[in-house]
Chains A and B, each alone.
Chain A
Amino acid sequence: MIARLGGAFGRNVVLAVTVVFFGLPVVWLLLAPTKTSATLAAEPLAFGSVAQVGSAWEHLLGYQDGVIGDWIVNSAVYSAASVVLVLLTAVPAGYALAVGRFRGRETLLVLTLITMIVPSAALILPLYLEMAAVGLTNTALSVILPLGFYPFGVYLVFLFTANTLPLSIVEAARVDGCSEWGILLRIFLPPARPVVVVVAFFAFVNSWNSYFLPFIMLVDVDAATLQTGLQVLAGSTGAVSGVNFTGIPIREPELALAAVVSIAPILLIFLFAQRYLAAGHTVGAEKG
């Protein structure tokens, strides 16, 4: 059997099974909002109608006075703010860790690696206690600031710098009287734009998808993100249990549509910028 796998037929069978396993759920999710709850059950993989998507969207907007609009805005604001914070802190740090020689450099590098591999979920409860102690829970800052700490971004910039920027160039610029920040801005940054984009992508995906952090920090339903809002939506309507006694017209297609909205920006990045993201996977994995 193993020998057969080398043959074209065996290969294609493995590939086809893989495509179905990874592709089917995504296709199902994209098709679900085009159908009603009843047709969804009858024909899971058929295309319904565009009109049905519109009516599902109407139902979503009708949920708690359109709170989903707040969730979208919140997700966008929290993510954008944390990405800016990541870029402002991670780019100079990764660069300096690769180029500079200063006290504490190695400690900082090792701590960066450890905090990068330890899953963020491990620290969230203590982080919540810390935020509660300074009275920041239930504010945007309680989500933005922790997401702005992004060691993987620092590591990517560090690797890029160590691999591509010859120290002799840095030295030459210094001799010519360029300041340290001047070297970063004029010598390092222009050719480093691709890695900055990659860091921004990853930081955005990380922020937009974060669930546990906003879930525990943000109490008010209109401060929630799309990710945490989804659970509210699913839990409060009983849409998935099959028994929806609430009378709220939120059923499977509406939930699927909300899920599609919540993954849309990430899905687009994965579809159209996969080459960039894949580059990150070749330098080591990030925590989930």
Chain B
Amino acid sequence: MMSVREDPRVAVGRPAATPSPSPAPRRRRTGPGWTFVGPYGALLVLFGLAPAVYGLYQAIIVTPVVGAPHYDVTGNFSAVLGDHRLWPAVRNVGLYLLVWLPVMLVVVFAVALVIDARRTRFGAFTRFVSYVPGSIAGAAAALLWLFMFSPAVSPVGALLAPAAADNGTFLSDGRMPVVLAVMGIAAGGGGWIVMLHGALTGISTEVLEAARLDGASAWQTVRRIKLPMIRDYVAFILVVSLANGFQVFVEPQVMGAAATGQISRTWSVNQLVFTYATAEANYGRAAALSVLLLVPCVVAATVVIRFTRFYRVDR
């Protein structure tokens, strides 16, 4: 089965199952079964699996401008891959990930380590504050950051003003990767800081005490003990964030709608999917691009489940 190590943060020392010493008849009781998981299983099939299958089916139906829809396995895919709007969108999302992920990793690790270095009220307060912006999601977050990047009303407007265009706007297609990266860190960073801090507090005090007695400095403790203990969170945060980043939709969509004309309506790949489905009423192409976008996400999910210790499926 899955090679998922026990997560020290969630496991409460359960010894490996040993064969029962009593010579009871070895008819295994099955316990709760499909009546318990049935309703959930139905939802999983209807809203987890069926859309993927149905999307794949829609993706092979080509709707030409003139004539009847017909089956064509590659038609929609090649049309989508040849769309002149796709590659700018891919580049936009790629740039965004390139800016966002490394900066966020550095920020969340640095802040978590600093908070952990000495347990103070200020540290606990910082952790608390960092988590709060996570409550501002979706359209509200997009609006908030639209304001934060509007020189006229932003509290850091004076810093933005020199870089603003003649009409006083700061946002543009080219600046969106940085804007989204800042948003992404503000909205998601706190959750990761809380998680990393939880992992750091899980390091046994005996180990830290021993290091201190051996004369390790705070910095040496970080480098030799704490960082190695939380290193595999890097891959975890990266993969989960990558999967989400590929799908970015809400922020450029809302910002584009609210600040008319400043941001392309097909800035991200998912916006192009949406444009196919609505403005162009071409479900085949929308489904084809959705399927293409789904692939890296499923791969990322499988990688996290198979090769990290963060999820386990064994009792």
Residues of A in contact with B (beta carbons under 8 Å apart): 2-3, 5-6, 8, 11-12, 14-15, 18-19, 21-26, 28-29, 32, 40-41, 44-45, 85, 88-90, 92-93, 95-102, 104, 106, 108-119, 121-123, 125-130, 133, 145-146, 148-149, 151, 154-155, 159, 162-164, 170-171, 174, 180, 183-184, 205, 209-212, 215-216, 227-228, 230-231, 234-235, 238-242, 252, 255-256, 259, 262-263, 266-267, 269-271, 274, 277-278, 281-285, 287-288
In the bound complex, how far is the Cα of B40 from the Cα of A115, in angstroms?
Answer: 13
A259 engages B140 (CB within 8 Å): yes
- In the complex, the chain B residue whose C-beta lies closest to that of A265 is B135
B147 engages A32 (CB within 8 Å): yes
Task: Provide the residues of chain B in CB contact with A256, threshold 8 Å.
Answer: 143, 147
B54 engages A130 (CB within 8 Å): yes
Q: Would you give 6 A-B contacts (Cβ < 8 Å), ordered by A?
A: A44-B154, A110-B305, A118-B297, A205-B135, A262-B140, A283-B7
Task: Provide the residues of chain A in CB contact with B12, threshold 8 Å.
Answer: 163-164
Task: Provide the residues of chain A in CB contact with B145, threshold 8 Å.
Answer: 25
Describe B's contact surface by its main secondary structure.
Answer: helix
Q: Are A25 and B55 also in contact (CB < 8 A) when A15-B126, A89-B40, A92-B40 are?
A: no
Interface presence of B311 (CB below 8 A)? yes
Task: Provide the residues of chain A in CB contact with B29, threshold 8 Å.
Answer: 171, 174
A211 engages B250 (CB within 8 Å): yes
In the bound complex, how far is the Cα of B283 from the Cα of A125, in angstroms?
Answer: 9
Interface presence of B25 (CB below 8 A)? no
**Interface Cβ pair total, 8 Å cutoff:** 349
In the bound complex, how far is the Cα of B79 from the Cα of A157, in angstroms?
Answer: 44
Task: Provide the residues of chain A in CB contact with B137, threshold 8 Å.
Answer: 209, 211, 263, 266
Which one, B54, B153, B311, contacts A40 given CB within 8 A? Answer: B153
B301 engages A93 (CB within 8 Å): no
214-228 of chain B: CB within 8 A of chain A: 217-219
Task: Provide the residues of chain A in CB contact with B247, threshold 8 Å.
Answer: 119, 121-122
Q: Are A110 and B147 also in contact (CB < 8 A) when A14-B111, A26-B133 are?
A: no
A259 engages B143 (CB within 8 Å): yes
Q: Are A6 and B217 also in contact (CB < 8 A) when A125-B277, A283-B10 are?
A: yes
Give 19 A-B pairs besides A119-B244, A259-B140 with Cβ atoms closer than 8 angstroms. Answer: A6-B117, A11-B114, A15-B123, A19-B130, A24-B155, A25-B136, A40-B153, A96-B32, A100-B31, A101-B28, A114-B302, A123-B294, A127-B51, A211-B250, A211-B254, A259-B136, A266-B136, A267-B132, A281-B198
In the bound complex, how far is the Cα of B260 from the Cα of A19, in angstroms?
Answer: 32
Task: Provide the residues of chain A in CB contact with B114, threshold 8 Å.
Answer: 5, 11, 14-15
Task: Provide the residues of chain B in CB contact with A125, threshold 8 Å.
Answer: 55, 273-274, 277, 286-287, 290
Interface presence of B194 (CB below 8 A)? yes
- In the complex, the chain B residue whose C-beta lies closest to that of A27 is B155
In the bound complex, how far is the Cα of B116 from the Cα of A11, in angstroms?
Answer: 10
Give the 8 A-B CB pairs with smallest separation, nearest first.
Answer: A126-B55, A96-B36, A93-B40, A234-B258, A211-B138, A117-B301, A126-B51, A121-B247
